């Protein structure tokens, strides 16, 4: 095999950072910036695709569907949005654990179960009722990211008139079944019986919604 030539530099002392202070952001700022970037790329993709099909949709056409399968650019944008959201969620759980002096769990599943069952209702921090109100949204950030990581071919894309949708099959492992009763999904009994449910997401709305969600989260943090 051909060896790749590379040069590594090791320093014992801290290097001087060249550039303005705003170029060196904190972890959550970098990740949020990635969400902004993912949304911009998605919007550009959407404009191009809408332009390609505009001659097929007129006043007499109420629904036009074009499949994009596992389009690599859409997967890339979706991945960037969800992976960074998942990392932000982990950081948020650590933040809440610290702010509540260890009263909450740093792991998602035990945190979510306690949150939805009201175990954290007495904690005086506005992030708790906000997350409880948006528990379905938070749950799916984690689920969508897991599907991108574990079964990316499970996610298919469709253009429906003026929106792009993602369609996927969402599995429900046994350790998550206790959460299903608290989620805003249809056919809960059927979902529990089958151990899964189908989900379709309007990405045209979802990308900016994720950004709005995290802005709302940041507004509650000191």
What tokens were used for 32? 């949020």
- In this prediction, residue 9 has a pLDDT band, given cuts at 50, 70 and 90, of low
User: What whole-number distance in Å separates Cα of residue 88 and Cα of residue 124?
Assistant: 22
* 3-29: average pLDDT: 64
Model confidence at 3: pLDDT above 60 = yes
**Whole-number average pLDDT of the chain:** 88
What confidence category does residue 13 fall into, taking pLDDT thresholds of 50, 70 and 90?
low
* Region class of 19: left (phi > 0), else alpha (psi between -120 and 50), else beta: left
Per-residue pLDDT tens digits for 101-157: 999 999 999 999 999 999 999 998 999 999 999 999 999 999 999 999 999 999 999
Task: Show Cβ contacts of residue 64 under 8 Å, excluding neighbours closer than 6 positions.
Answer: 53, 56, 57, 159, 160, 161
Flag whether pLDDT at 56 surpasses 90: no
pLDDT digits (tens, 9 = 90+) for 151-180: 999 999 999 888 999 999 999 999 999 999
Alpha-carbon span 201 to 173, nearest angstrom: 21
What pLDDT is stored for residue 222 in this prediction? 65
Q: For residue 102, how many C-alpha atoms fall within 13 Å in the half-sphere facing its CB?
A: 0
Are 63 and 160 in contact by the 8 Å Cβ rule? The answer is yes
CB 159 within 8 A of CB 171: no
Q: Each residue of 22-46: pLDDT tens digit?
A: 655 577 788 999 999 999 999 999 9
C-alpha to C-alpha distance for 65 and 165, rounded to whole angstroms: 10
* Cβ-contact 144, 75 below 8 angstroms: no
Give yes or no for residue 12 having a pLDDT over 70.
no
**Cross-strand partners of 165:** 158, 202
d(CA 35, CA 1): 39
Could you read off the pLDDT of 66-78 as tens digits, one per residue? Answer: 888 889 999 999 9
Helix (H) or strand (E) holding 190: helix 188-194
Per-residue pLDDT tens for 186-207? 888 888 999 999 999 999 999 9
Give the helix ranges, DSSP H, for 100-182.
108-116, 127-133, 135-150, 177-180
* 156-160 and 65-69 beta bridge pairing: antiparallel
- Higher-confidence residue of 27 and 181: namely 181
Task: Measure Cα distances from 81 to 28, 32, 36, 84 in Å.
Answer: 13, 9, 8, 6
- In the three-class reduction of DSSP (H, G, I as helix; E, B as strand; rest coil), residue 67 is classed as strand
């Amino acid at each position: 095999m051909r060896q790749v030539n590379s040069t590594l530099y090791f320093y014992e002392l801290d290097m001087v950072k060249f550039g303005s202070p705003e170029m060196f952001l904190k972890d959550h700022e970098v990740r949020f910036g990635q969400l902004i970037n993912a949304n911009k790329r998605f919007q550009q993709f959407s404009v191009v695709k809408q332009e390609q099909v505009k001659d097929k949709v007129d006043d007499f056409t109420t629904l036009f569907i074009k499949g994009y399968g596992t389009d690599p650019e859409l997967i890339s944008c979706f991945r960037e949005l969800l992976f960074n959201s998942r990392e932000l969620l982990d950081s948020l759980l650590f933040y809440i654990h610290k702010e509540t002096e260890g009263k909450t769990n740093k792991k998602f599943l035990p945190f979510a179960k306690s949150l939805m069952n009201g175990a954290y209702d007495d904690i005086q921090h506005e992030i708790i009722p906000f997350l409880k109100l948006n528990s379905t949204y938070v749950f799916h950030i984690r689920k969508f990211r897991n599907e991108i990581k574990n079964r990316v071919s499970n996610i298919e894309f469709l253009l429906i008139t003026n929106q792009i949708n993602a369609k996927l099959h969402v599995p429900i492992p046994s350790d998550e079944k206790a959460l299903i009763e608290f989620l805003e999904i249809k056919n809960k009994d059927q979902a529990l019986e089958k151990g899964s449910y189908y989900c379709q997401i309007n990405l045209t709305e979802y990308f900016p919604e994720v950004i709005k969600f995290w802005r709302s989260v940041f507004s509650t943090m000191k």
